[in-house]
Structure 1
């Protein structure tokens, strides 16, 4: 087996190799699994499985189905969120064991789970879970698991900060785009997206123009301005109308809020 230093360097490499636009937690789990020779789950505070991999054969149909849904069970999440420090060598029948209880005979009860809270900037960001068959976690394994939780925490925090920056940027973009519209165009946009009733759908401009009492050109100009700003994407379907899809999530929140009155 590789030395503690060698395995620590492999975990450090996850941070040192640079970041992309979006953190690949699935790839991170694939890196961590062979280092600790274990099952690995990276779970967020909503129970979403951000990353999963296993270097051991332990799964069954129920777990496979759970992984496909992308979420751990509510009971498991609730139990995990009550853990505030590393919990080690969790036995097979414990509620936090990651191994399927119906497979007790198969594993002969010789399984061990470690659950670690993932933290960053003073807040709980998620949970990291490791599992081993037939051997418990040695001290070196626990050192690596603790270090891995720190690395995962840094990456989760980076992604959270990036998301917050993107939301702020989108808000500014939406406000600038809406400020570029005339009063009649703003009125048209309000009617268009109330009619759409969602983030995408089919619009027949002439019908809205007749019902609201505005010209079709006002609707067309408003849509062009929003599309050029990257707020929406649109595609003419001829006589059927125009297909519209909202690209910025904040847009609908803004036009239906008091800020836009």
Structure 2
């Protein structure tokens, strides 16, 4: 008996049958009674159960048990190696740049710091002059020296007032010392020399210098002619006055000027 019902609101009295059209693939629709459909739903579909999480456990190694307070912890230290006494295998320390030579060196055998004073204002010690107070107390107010002209081959004597000329040098040093940067200025490196008294030529006159031990240091200081000295002569002065004597000429000349000023005025403001 093939009877089909449709739920369009017309046949509400017939609720015993329900036409279901199930289309699975290419199958034809099938009619299933409503009560069978209800029983199918109640038997096949159960209420949703709460989801249970799934865990995957992996066996991990257990950490070591802590030591008890009674068990001290010891660390094995490497054995101490005795210092090497073999010079061939001992490590050689690295060396940096060679240091500067000391400014104080012993004199050669047979030589002494004490010499005969070549001038009344010089002491018996090499490259050393008397103080200004000592010279003035002895009545030495004028310092003399010899100049030599290479043009006419003449030599003559020049005198300087001790107090006046020293004040000129001392004032110049005190005003310009900070700007010198431990180097002699150009006016000391290339001093202005007077014209020759005989031929009146310029740039031919030089201080007369014979031996290093006989250099008239005070005369050259007052005339600001120390720049006419050779570098070896300036190093000679710094050697015997215990000053640093290596480096360029402007450095050694600067030290020579200041050391002579310090000899003349030991308690003054000029210092190395």
Could you state the TM-score of these two structures normalised by the residue count of structure 1?
Answer: 0.25
TM-score, normalised with respect to structure 2: 0.25
Name the one with the larger helix percent. 1
Tell me which structure has the larger Cα radius of gyration: 2
